[in-house]
Each structure stands twice: as structure tokens, then as C-alpha cells.
A and B are shown apart, each in its own frame.
Chain A
Amino acid sequence: MRVYLELARRSFAQQFAYRGATLAGLFTNSIFGVMIASVFLALYRSNPDVNGEIAGWRATETLTYVWISQSLLMVVYLWGWWEIMLSIQTGAIVADFLKPLDFYAYWLSRDLGRAAAHALIRGVPTFLVGALLFRQMVIPGELGRWLAFLVSVVLAVSVSFAFRFILNMAGFWVIDHRGVAYMGTVLVNFFSGLLVPLTFFPGWLETVANLLPFRAIIMIPIELLLGQRSVFSGIALQLFCFGALSVIARLLLRAGERKVVIQGG
């Protein structure tokens, strides 16, 4: 266990090396946050007939959704993580297999360390920018909700990691990752609730979204923060998604491992 904590700690520390990139990223997240928030505010403003409420969300709550999802973006790291796939392509993965560590836990602990750093240097600052620019935003005062949110974010990172791990496993079978990357991006962007809150979906489409694990990555933490879902149901669902995806990930890993050994001869 101590090894995994150390791995997480190192990966955490690594993220602080890129100061310029951090500031640049914060700027970009903020501009996007302002744009998305403006679109939602305009939608509420130009449709007085909805009485300021869509699926139980007032504009002030939708603002919280916009800024929390922008802040979570780097933390759950949805796009562009192909480290394992690249190491499959270069063959460096064989060295990782030789380490006396559990391969899955090795990468998970590194990813959790990275996520903790990104929460501090990207997540919190982005949310503060949003809270300063949009004062009408709902910011819950109950400590309990924030605690539930925190636990839920850790689980969201874990679910996102498991999904990214599965995508990376494709590297054992295909040479070019871009096809897999695009498909993965479409699924996650839409069904995690990153583009529009899942609560805004028409009934049948929300049913589809509920059958997929992506809700656990963006929506559930936000729902817990806004107090729109019981803490138990949210956390249980996330744990289930993480467990199920991890089983799939490990099965793929085992199949891939065998393939590499055969190639190695």
C-alpha cells in the first residue's frame, strides 16, 4: 500500500512543474465557462414561459452546474490520456509488467495523485473565477454536501480512469488510437452531462444515459452538491460503475498481456 501512496505522491508533485501551462489552461477554462454560462443564462432569459425552471433547475443552479463541470474537466481528465497505449506501441509496457506491482493499481494510484494536483491548481481556481464573475450562482452552505461532493469526485476520477484504461487497452489490438479516441470522446462528452445536464434530456434519452457509466463522471458529483440526489444512491451508483468497469479493464488487460507475451516469443 505504501508503494501506491508514494506513486500517487510523486505524480501529484509532478503536476506543479508546468506553471505557464497551468495559467494558460485556467484562462482557457474560464473563457469557456463564461461562454457556456452566457448561453444558459440567455436561454432562461429568452424563454419566460418556462417560469425560470427546467427539470427543477433554476438558472442559478445551472450556473453551478456550468462552473463545477468546467472545474472538474481537468480533474477527471476525459480527453487525451494515452500513456498506456503509447507504452504498448513502444514496447515499454513490458518493463511495467515486470514491476512487482499490480499493473491496474499502479496506474490508478498515479492517476489519483494527478487528479488531486489538478483539483488544487485547476479545479479550485476555475470555480473561484466562476463564483466571482457570476455572483448569483448557488453555492451550498452545508458542510455535509461538500463532503459528499468530495468523496464523489474521487469516485468520479476512478470511474473516468477505469474507462480511459479500457480505451487504452485497445492498443493491444489496433495500431492507431485515433478512431478509438473519437468514439470514446463522443460517448463521454454527451452522456456524462458535460455538454447539457442529463436532467434536461428527454425521458427516453435519459434512460439511455442511465444505462451508461458516464453519469458517474460529471453529473453525480454535481447532483450531490446541489442536493438533488441522496448521497447513498449517488455513491453506490459510482461504486458500482467503478467496480464493473474495473472488472472489464482487468479482463482486457489479461487478454492483452497474453498477446504481448506471445509476440515477445
Chain B
Amino acid sequence: MGDRFGLLTEVQIAARIARVRVRGQMQYRASFAMQIAGTFIVNFAELAALLVMFGRFDNLGGWRLGEVVFLYGLSAIMFGLADTAAGGLGTFNGLIRLGDFDRVLTRPVAPFLQALVSDVSLRHIGQMVQGIVVFVFALTLVDVPWDAARLLYFFVVIVSGAVLFVSLFAIEAIVCFWTVESTEAVNAFTYGGSDLAQYPLHIFDRWLRRLFLWVIPVGFVSFFPALYLLDKPDPLGLPEAARFAAPLAALAFAGVTGVLWRLGVNHYRSTGS
């Protein structure tokens, strides 16, 4: 990697690439609209499933329907945001397999930024909007003691959660530097993590809880913030500070991911002969 611009310029270049890609997708208006509509409704099946379950049962580990839907909406918004921002990482495996990553390395913009914008899947915005709709629906079912601090922290949590899930998508991409075959295992943590984030954490066994708190801190960006926002007692007995750990957990995880990314890039040997 030769001379590079400053970080700010690089971000600007990446943003411009992203804009071009978005404009390209907009050319096929009908197809684009259908994709957004599609991602919008796809998760409603899960919400319907939740409603069916609560038609039979009245609570889940002491949590009522409204509270569970609140948690579901919260995690759907952050996951949708992450999916929109990190679409390029989802196709990273093709970049490696075809040897196209060589080209990325010769350009004077940080490879990670280039990988991010190599495909911008604006259609995932539908997923985020769906999350917002679910969240608003939850607000009609449950009384949240909103105040300025809660409102502010809500946005911090959404951004922290998105950072965490983008990092997880990045890890799936990083695995590609070593193998392009076994990346499905990472789905257990990306999609598995977002699924787990929809349910109150204390209903899971200890090993699963530990995994999704201390290794992959999904619980710190969904369950614990939700305890604060809904003003609920903590069934796991962690210190009060756990409720506010979302940004810290996300930053720490993103930091580790950054180190892994660097290791991966250094390990990269092109597939070309």
C-alpha cells in the first residue's frame, strides 16, 4: 500500500462510490421498489409468529408481549441499519475467490472502506423501516417512561448495535481470508445473534448467555439497554452499569475486529496464478 490520502478524504471517496452505487440501483425503479417492499415484509412473518406464541402463552420469562415486541423492534432496527451499511461485506467472499481483492489493495483508499461500499444494499432499508414499524407498534402495547436521557440513550443504543453487527459481518468477511468455504458458521453469530437479541437474555442457558454477553456482546446492546428503557429489574444481577455498557461493548468489539481485519489482510495471498 503506497501513499494514502488522509482518513477524511478516504471516507469522502468511499461515500462518493456509495452514492454512485445507490444511483445505479435506482435506475431500475420497479425492481428497487419491489426489493424494498420485500425486505419490509419478510420479517413480519417473525412478528406474526411472536403474536401466535403470545396467543397461547401470557409471558416469556416474566416479559409480556409488549416488552418482547419492544426488544424485537429495537434489535430489528439496529440489524437493519447494519445490514444496509455493510452490504458489501456480504459479497466479500466473491471478491476473495475471484482474486478481485488485489485490485482493492492497489487503490489508495483503506481496503475496509472499499469493501464496505463494494455493494450498497439500499434495499435493506426496508428491513430497518420494518423494525421502526414494529417498534412503534410495541410502544402502543407498553408504557415506556420516556425522558430526555432515555431518548438520547435509545439512539446511542441503535448506533452501538449497528456497529456491533457491522463488526460481525466484517468477521464473516475476515474468515474469507483463510477459507471461503466455512463462512456459514459465522451466520450462527450474525443472524443467530440478531435472533437471540429479540428474546429476554435470562431465558437462555448459562453458556449461551455468556457467549452472547462476554464473547459477542449482543446482550449489552439489546437486553440490558431494554432493561433501562423499560425500567425493569435485572434478573441476572449484573451491576447497574451493565445497562449503559452498549457503546463501550460495541467499541471494544469493533476494536478487536479491526485487529483481526489487519491480520487477515496481511495473511491474504491472491488466488491468481
Q: Could you tell me which A residues sit within 8 Å of B by CB distance?
A: 18, 20-21, 23-25, 27-28, 31-32, 34-35, 38-39, 42-47, 49-50, 54-55, 175-176, 178-179, 181-183, 185-186, 189-190, 195-196, 200-202, 205
23 A-B contacts, Cβ less than 8 Å apart? Answer: A20-B182, A23-B185, A24-B181, A31-B188, A34-B205, A34-B208, A35-B196, A38-B203, A38-B204, A38-B208, A42-B61, A43-B53, A43-B60, A44-B57, A46-B59, A47-B58, A47-B59, A49-B58, A179-B34, A179-B35, A182-B39, A186-B41, A200-B52
- With the chains together, A200 CA to B51 CA distance in Å? 11
Distance to closest chain A CB from B49 (angstroms): 4
Which residues of A sit under 8 angstroms from B37, Cβ to Cβ? 179, 182
Q: Are A182 and B42 in contact (CB under 8 A)?
A: yes
Name the one of B38, B49, B59, B208 contacting A179, with C-beta atoms under 8 angstroms. B38
Is B102 on the interface with A (CB-CB < 8 A)? no
Which residues of A sit under 8 angstroms from B59, Cβ to Cβ? 46-47
Which residues of A sit under 8 angstroms from B183, Cβ to Cβ? 24
- With the chains together, A178 CA to B33 CA distance in Å? 11
- With the chains together, A182 CA to B62 CA distance in Å? 34
Of residues 23 through 82 on chain B, the ones whose CB sits less than 8 Å from some CB of chain A are: 28, 31, 34-35, 37-39, 41-42, 44-46, 48-49, 52-53, 55-62
Q: Are B58 and A190 in contact (CB under 8 A)?
A: no
Query: What are the 4 closest A-B residue pairs judged by CB atoms, nearest first?
Result: A182-B38, A179-B34, A42-B203, A24-B185
Inter-chain contact total with CB atoms closer than 8 Å: 117
Is B192 on the interface with A (CB-CB < 8 A)? yes
Total interface residues on B, CB under 8 Å, equals 41
Q: Are B181 and A21 in contact (CB under 8 A)?
A: yes
Distance to closest chain A CB from B38 (angstroms): 3
Is B10 on the interface with A (CB-CB < 8 A)? no
Q: Are B203 and A196 in contact (CB under 8 A)?
A: no
Name the one of B52, B123, B182 contacting A23, with C-beta atoms under 8 angstroms. B182
Which residues of A sit under 8 angstroms from B44, Cβ to Cβ? 186
- With the chains together, A200 CA to B58 CA distance in Å? 13
Q: Are A46 and B60 in contact (CB under 8 A)?
A: yes
Q: Are B34 and A20 in contact (CB under 8 A)?
A: no
Asked, given contacts A32-B192, A46-B62, whether A182 binds B55 with beta carbons under 8 Å apart, the answer is: no
**B187 — nearest CB in chain A belongs to which residue?**
A28
Name the one of B45, B46, B184 contacting A25, with C-beta atoms under 8 angstroms. B184
- With the chains together, A43 CA to B60 CA distance in Å? 5
User: B171-182 CB contact bits vs A (8 Å, 1 = yes)?
Assistant: 000000001011
- With the chains together, A46 CA to B235 CA distance in Å? 14
Distance to closest chain A CB from B111 (angstroms): 25
Is B234 on the interface with A (CB-CB < 8 A)? no
**B189 — nearest CB in chain A belongs to which residue?**
A31
Asked, given contacts A28-B192, A182-B38, whether A21 binds B184 with beta carbons under 8 Å apart, the answer is: yes
Q: Are A39 and B199 in contact (CB under 8 A)?
A: yes
- With the chains together, A159 CA to B46 CA distance in Å? 23
**A21 — nearest CB in chain B belongs to which residue?**
B181
**B190 — nearest CB in chain A belongs to which residue?**
A28
Asked, given contacts A42-B61, A176-B28, A182-B38, whether A24 binds B203 with beta carbons under 8 Å apart, the answer is: no
**B211 — nearest CB in chain A belongs to which residue?**
A31
